Amino acid sequence: MTLHIHTVDENTRPAPDAELVSIADYVLRKHLESDTAFTTARYCLMDALGCAILALQYSACTKLLGPIIPGTTVPVGARVPGTNYLLDPILAAFNIGTLVRWLDFNDTWLAAEWGHPSDNLGAILAVTDYLSRKNLAEGKKPLVIKDVLTAMIKAHEIQGVLALENGFNRLGFDHVILVKIASTAVATQLLGGSHEQIINALSQAFLDGAALRTYRHAPNTGSRKSWAAGDATSRATRLAWLTMQGEMGYPSVLTARKWGFYDAVMKSETLRMGRSFGTYVMENVLFKISYPAEFHAQTAVECAILLHPQIKNKLDQIEKIALVTQESAVRIISKSGPLHNPADRDHCLQFMVAVALLQGDLKADYYEDSFASNPWIDKLRDKMMVEEDKQFSKDYLDPDKRSIANSIQIFFKDGTHTNKVTVEYPVGHLRRREEGIPLLFDKFAENASTLYQAEKVQQLLSLFKDEEALDNMPVNEFMDLFVR
């Protein structure tokens, strides 16, 4: 019997992987007609910028911003909201993306993978602002905010559809890979990339592989989780730029045996794309309206605030706090022991609930060391029993529900107890959109007021309420409104 040993690799260049082609087709050729998607995108833009402005209050964030060499400006660049920085679009994308994401307060998408689709604004605003200023310098027309909204809808869709059935977290990888993929696609298109160039850039994004989730979980939770998305959207902008300089692509980056993304990263699994790309994600995105908290805990915080009046004068009488949640919350934000920094605290279900029970509210400042030293927080954490409700977990993944349910019941030493309080849908959910949108404007006004005078805040609110004026505003003029 002759034994055949494989010693030669077949080096025929394959056609691009179908998944890359599908994304490129969507970004370059899909015409968007959903009024709901565009309306929601305007809300997302307003909300994300409000989150960015609020983040400027925290030195742990602002120390990471600005040019690499202090004082550096570029002749034609992109603005960073709330600052006077004018940076190259790659660095501006990091700055903008980091500001938007810092406080865990921007929009959210939950499925097999979770994430925050407005993280992509790092690339989108940086590239469109830069292109607008470049066009004006060359005697051409600038881009307008309608172009930003279109890119947002498409970036939301790419990130969100890929998240529906592909849980990178279960492989130990972070969701910011999806930010990089989505931002790469739209940034390349905005820079004038062809169908082939978008495919090439996307292949580069997949070649980077995936970041570990180590920085999001005990015992290593830390501030990288607050700039990881800024890093991803900046990297995407660089990959788009490299591609536009003529850098080649790698057509079978996903499917190449042994060395491809599927074999090397996904343990021979393949990406599942359960629906075609359209406007579904933007239409159904979740807003964090009330609390700067990891989204799986939003309804738990709401439950705790509802219980606050009943227990605020009986803290020493509490024997047990029964906290029932979904599987995702149990897996990623339920933890005991010391909490070492704000990033650690805003990813701890028990900490967020304890603070809400104590204060009847949850604010970004409550994650800081000065507040977190309150001994009652850990006393309440120690009394919490966290359990999964299988129905909550099922409804979480149900495409017709997408609930994020939590319930809390408090038991006292004398044998009495509160009613069991359950909240299935947070105020930022599509099912509570009518209730939530006025509060979203209030949230923006409150966040903007931390930096701007009342007259400026009203100017910005009026603009966001005037769809036609907003859509037709040149991006550079819009970004100039936020200069500080």
Q: pLDDT, tens digit, for every residue of 274-325?
A: 899 999 999 999 999 988 888 899 999 999 999 999 999 999 999 999 999 9
| 363-395 b/e (C-beta count within 10 Å ≥ 16 → b) | ebebbeeebbeeeebbebbebbebebbeebbeb
Closest CA to 478 of 156, 46, 183: 46
Band of residue 189 on the pLDDT scale cut at 50, 70, 90: very high
Distances (CA, A) of 72 to 60, 69, 132: 21, 6, 21
pLDDT at residue number 291: 85
∠79-80-82 over CA atoms, to 5°?
120
What pLDDT, on the 0 to 100 scale, is given for residue 5?
62
Whole-number pLDDT of residue 368: 94
CB 312 within 8 A of CB 376: no
Portion of the chain with pLDDT greater than 90, in percent? 90
Contact assessment for residue 230 and residue 94, using Cβ atoms and an 8 Å cutoff: yes
Q: What is the pLDDT of residue 10?
A: 81
Helix, strand or coil for residue 412? Answer: strand
Question: What integer is the mean pLDDT of 59-74?
Answer: 95
Asked if residue 387 has pLDDT above 90, the reply is: yes
Of 472, 19, 443, the closest CA to residue 261 belongs to 19
Cα 60 to the center of its chain, rounded Å: 19
Mean pLDDT of 174-193: 98
Mean pLDDT throughout 181-197? 98
Residue type, 235: R
Nearest alpha carbon to residue 189 among 201, 180, 178? 201
> Integer distance in angstroms from the first to the last C-alpha of the chain?
79
Distance CA 341, CA 240 (A): 35
Q: What pLDDT, in 10s, does the model give residues 389-429?
A: 999 999 998 888 889 999 999 999 999 999 999 999 998 88
Instruction: Please list, in sequence order, all residues whose beta carbon lies within 8 angstroms of the beta carbon of residue 148, skipping any fewer than 6 positions away.
Output: 45, 124, 125, 128, 475
Distance CA(27)–CA(256), nearest Å, equals 24
Q: Give CA 345 to chain center in angstroms.
A: 18
How many other C-beta atoms can be found within 10 angstroms of the C-beta atom of residue 412? 15
Q: In this predicted structure, what is the pLDDT of residue 446?
A: 97
> What's the pLDDT score for residue 377?
97
- Amino acid of residue 189: Q
Instruction: Classify 359 as helix, strand or coil.
Output: helix
Listing DSSP states for 62-96 in one string gives HTT-S-SSTT---SS-EE-TTS--EE-HHHHHHHH
Distances (CA, A) of 188 to 19, 83, 183: 17, 26, 8
Peptide bond before residue 309 is cis, with ω within 30 degrees of 0: no
State yes or no: pLDDT of 464 exceeds 90: yes
Alpha carbon distances (Å) from 275 to 17, 25, 279, 443 = 18, 15, 11, 33
Greatest Cα pair distance, the chain, in angstroms, is 87
Q: What is the mean pLDDT of residues 45-62?
A: 97
**CA-wise closest residue to 353 among 407, 395, 403, 402:** 407
